[in-house]
Amino acid sequence: MASGPARTPTRGAGGPALYPRDPILTGEQRRRLGSGARKVHNPFPTMRALIGLLVLGCLFVMAASWQNRTTAELQSRRSLRYAAPADAANADTAGWSRLILGRPSGSEPLPIPEPPPSLRPGSSMDFLDGSATYRGGEEGSAGVASRSAVDPSSIRPVGVEATVAPRYARDFEYIVRPNDSLGEICRKHYDERPLHKLVEAVALYNDLKSPNAIRVGKTILLPDAAVLFPDR
């Protein structure tokens, strides 16, 4: 036989007795149960939001890391690009120094050296190597330039006396060569002293602003000393 609490039969409305079903809830109880059900929180939307924020944070960190790496690579390439020419220049000029001089902008251009004058009948050119030129010389009988031997110690033609000193005597025409100076030219051509007065007189005779105003290719007239110093 089945054991257990005995059920008290109930009587249905207008019918036989029935066993009790679920307890009958009043309206107040139903409202309480309904409000409690609405207060139950569903955790799934909150988890989705947290997962989304986590994914966005990871993406942001990855993007920042990639940007930093790219910036470092660009800086490294730039440093190599600018350092290579400097190293090459240092290797090229190791042990040497360079000085480049230029005229300032707006200044007058350097004058073009005059070409040596062509030989004229009755004259020859005067150089330190022994050849000589006269201005105002007479043409020879054959109509060609005459050349005379020159004493290297004085650059003076043999046979021409130094004491002959007319005011408009024949002058030596010397063409300035590289590394020449007016003092060196006068020292080799004249026997007069002091040399600095002789150099000043030759510069004045040639209308030079200063004894240093000679340039390569310029013709320097070298008259006799008696022409430069007529009072002696």
Question: Can you tell me the distance from the alpha carbon of 213 to that of 223, in angstroms, rounded to the nearest whole number?
Answer: 19
Confidence at residue 24, expressed as pLDDT on a 0 to 100 scale = 64
Residues of the chain with pLDDT under 70: 1-27, 33-44, 79-111, 113-169, 232
Question: Can you tell me the distance from the alpha carbon of 63 to that of 78, in angstroms, rounded to the nearest whole number?
Answer: 23
Confidence at residue 149, expressed as pLDDT on a 0 to 100 scale = 45
Confidence at residue 35, expressed as pLDDT on a 0 to 100 scale = 58
> For the segment 54-73, what is each residue's pLDDT rounded down to a tens digit?
999 999 899 998 888 888 88
Q: Is the pTM of this model over 0.85?
A: no
Confidence at residue 134, expressed as pLDDT on a 0 to 100 scale = 45
CB 167 within 8 A of CB 143: no
* Contacts for 165 with CB less than 8 Å, ≥ 6 apart: 224, 225, 226, 227, 230
Confidence at residue 61, expressed as pLDDT on a 0 to 100 scale = 92
